[in-house]
Amino acid sequence: MSPQAYGFLHERFARIGAISGAISVLDWDSQTMMPKGGAEARAEQLAVLSVLHHEAISADDFPDLLDRAEEETLSDWQSANLREMRRMHRHATAMDPGLVDAFSRATSECEHAWREARADDDFATVLPLLETVIDLVRDQAAAKADALEVAPYDALIDMYEPGGSSQKIDHLFAPLADRLPEILQRVLERQSESPTPVVPQGPFDAGRQKELAHRLMTTLGFEFEHGRVDVSAHPFCGGTSDDVRLTTRFDETDFTSAVMAVIHETGHAMYERGLPPEWRGQPVGTARGMAVHESQSLMFEMQACRDNGFIEFLAPLTKQVFGGEGADWGADNLHRLTTKVERGLIRVDADEVTYPLHVMLRYRLESALLDRSLAPADLPGAWREGMAELVGAAPPDDRDGCMQDIHWYAGAFGYFPTYTMGALAAAQLFQAAKRADPGIPEALSRGDFTGLLAWAREKVHRWGSYHTTDDLLQAATGAPLGEDAFLAHLEERYLG
């Protein structure tokens, strides 16, 4: 007998998945194609689709169906799907409608104010709104903690990294805090002994950069039958698994930023594309979480494509596409350029050595904001102190300080740690891939990604949300997520 309750749930989630897909495409359109004047109508469309999504996922009969399905005879994948259904349902119903509404309004207002406040370097204006948001995030965390039966901050993390917890993060971040400052210092000393890398002479025509993007995406295995690349203010990867849409932006004075952004987003895209096709639209068929997602973008961008080997392939290609001449176009300079480390102020521009330090600051501060050991009004000062301590560079203003990231102003607490978990996972996975297929580094230096991609598909992509992050890492690499591979990678690339 086929599992009846589970069957109902499967159908419901197929519908929910289709609504998510529609939202994703409309969101992509908002950022790439939509004329300005369409914003209001689009906001209405997205709001209505979100309500329909929420209504579908929080239907009254869900708890009963979930319980009945639990008693049915299910395959392992169906069981994993049921587990993820329950998680989604719990998140969707944890907050009462009044709180959902208040949260949505407050974050939308605060995010809007943040854009202006940041431009004006005026933290005081946005502070009261941020205080309201933080109060509501505490309510959100409490409500989700009840529903998920975990600690409040862990309930927030679970939205982005299912099963994540501050305990796990502390465990991962402690050795980084211990080792990174010293590694950073040594790397800077080492790099000061080499010639300063230079960006080859531009300008770099956007059309040529787009051509280069196409060629690199094809090299990495991207199928244009199932996706596209366009331009948006901030690079992202959207769409659906069979229609993956990534974006980039072209800086006519420096082609490397778009190159690395395209490779990064293609890593995300390959993950989406490689999710299990037989589970499209079902919870278990979606990406495991932001840490694993980021591991796939970083495995391509940081591990594979900033490696000396791939740079040997990339340098002549860029030279050819832009018709460049001279030593600045050589692999040596390009490698130094793409692995340059510095004590910078801005997280999104940070190299892989300092990036975790930026993230650790945010993790420390958001934890303190939530447990009230830091008042929002004291955030600018705490930011400057933390930056000086961790990165060794303090911002002269709040624009490039505590107002540089949208996350908190948009109500996203618990997200930042996933960037560094992703970086650790990327190193650990890439190490395992090379162990399994020792020909990978040489293949990459020929622009051949088939081995790496096949391994990632087999060990990561095709599992969707079947495993927990820990189980996925364990199965793929033989160990749970840790910092060893990452630290070894830094030692090898920067100090070897």
Residues carrying an active site annotation:
265
Burial group, residue 478, by CB count within 10 angstroms (0-12, 13-18, 19+): exposed
Task: Tell me whether residue 42 or residue 215 sits nearer to a copy of itself (CB atom).
Answer: 42
Are 292 and 422 spatial neighbours (Cβ–Cβ below 8 Å)?
A: yes
Applying CB under 8 A, which of residues 116, 203, 224, 252 lies at the interface with a copy of itself?
224
Interaction of residue 239 with a copy of itself, rule CB under 8 A: yes
Taking the complex as a whole, how short is the minimal distance between the CB of residue 34 and a copy of itself, in angstroms? 6
Token pair belonging to 286: 């979606």
Helix axes 123-148, 355-370, angle to 10 degrees: 80
- 182 by Cβ neighbours in 10 Å (0-12 / 13-18 / 19+) ranks as exposed
How many residues form the binding site for a copy of itself (CB under 8 A)? 38
Asked whether position 241 contacts a copy of itself by CB under 8 A, the answer is: yes
Rule CB under 8 A: choose which of 68, 215, 280, 336 binds a copy of itself. Answer: 280
Give yes or no for residue 281 binding a copy of itself (CB under 8 A): yes
For residues 14 and 475, which CB has a smaller minimum distance to a copy of itself in the complex? 14
Q: Of 102-110, 226-234, 291-299, 478-486, which part binds a copy of itself (CB under 8 A)?
A: 226-234
Using CB under 8 A, pick the residue from 1, 2, 37, 492 that binds a copy of itself: 37
Q: Reduce the DSSP state of residue 448 to 3 states and report it.
A: coil
Pick one of 223, 252, 389, 442: the residue that binds a copy of itself (CB under 8 A): 223
Stretch of 29-37, 333-341, 379-387, 476-484 contacting a copy of itself, by CB under 8 A: 29-37
Q: Judge whether 43 and 50 are in contact, CB under 8 Å.
A: no
Q: How many CA atoms lie within 13 A of 122 on its CB side?
A: 11
**Which residues are within 8 A (CB) of 326 and not within 5 positions of it... i.e. 6 or more apart?**
200
Q: How far apart are CA 259 and CA 216, in angstroms?
A: 8
Q: Does 14 bind a copy of itself (CB under 8 A)?
A: yes
Residues 6+ apart with CB under 8 A from 393: 343, 344, 345, 387
- The only residue of 8, 27, 29, 407 in contact with a copy of itself, by rule CB under 8 A: 29
Query: Does the protein bind a copy of itself through residue 252 (CB under 8 A)?
Result: no
354 neighbors 184 (Cβ within 8 angstroms): yes
Containing 105, the helix (H) or strand (E) segment is: helix 97-120
Least distance from a copy of itself to the Cβ atom of residue 94, Å: 24
Angle, nearest 10°, between helix axes 469-477 and 290-298? Answer: 40
Nearer to a copy of itself, 217 or 433 (CB): 217
**Contact residues for 474 (Cβ-Cβ < 8 A; gap 6+):** 480
Does 221 help bind a copy of itself (rule: CB under 8 A)?
no
Considering the rule CB under 8 A, would residue 101 count as an interface residue with a copy of itself?
no
For a copy of itself, the closer of residues 9 and 172 by Cβ is 9
| Half-sphere exposure in the Cβ direction for 113 (13 Å, CA) | 20
The DSSP output letter for 284 is G
Instruction: Label the pairing between strands 227-231 and 243-248.
Output: parallel
Does residue 47 belong to the site contacting a copy of itself (CB under 8 A)? yes
- Residue with Cβ nearer a copy of itself (60 or 225): 225
- CB 205 → a copy of itself: shortest distance, Å? 15
- If one asks whether residue 346 binds a copy of itself (CB under 8 A), the answer comes out as no
Residue 40 touching a copy of itself (CB under 8 A): yes
3-state secondary structure of 371: coil
Please report whether residue 36 would count as binding a copy of itself according to CB under 8 A.
yes
| Part in contact with a copy of itself (CB under 8 A); list of ranges 39-47, 129-137, 204-212, 462-470 | 39-47
Question: How do 227-231 and 237-240 pair as beta strands?
Answer: unpaired
- Is residue 104 near a copy of itself by the rule CB under 8 A? no
Nearer to a copy of itself, 243 or 470 (CB): 243
Residues that bind a copy of itself (CB under 8 A): 14-15, 18-19, 21-22, 25-26, 29, 33-38, 40-42, 44-45, 47-49, 51-52, 223-228, 239-243, 280-281
